[in-house]
Amino acid sequence: MYKFIFELDGIITTQEILPLVSNHFGVKEQIDKLVKDAAHIPSVERFIRHKRA
Task: Give the pLDDT of residue 28.
Answer: 94
pTM of the model: 0.52
Task: Give the pLDDT of residue 20.
Answer: 87
> How confident is the model over 1-18, as a mean pLDDT?
73
Q: What is the pLDDT of residues 10-39, one digit of tens each?
A: 667 777 788 888 999 999 999 999 888 877
Task: Give the pLDDT of residue 8.
Answer: 61
Task: Give the pLDDT of residue 39.
Answer: 76
CA–CA gap between residue 43 and residue 39 (Å, rounded): 9
Single-letter code of the amino acid located at 30? Q
Where do the domains of the chain lie? 17-52
Residues 6 or more apart whose Cβ sits within 8 Å of residue 40:
none
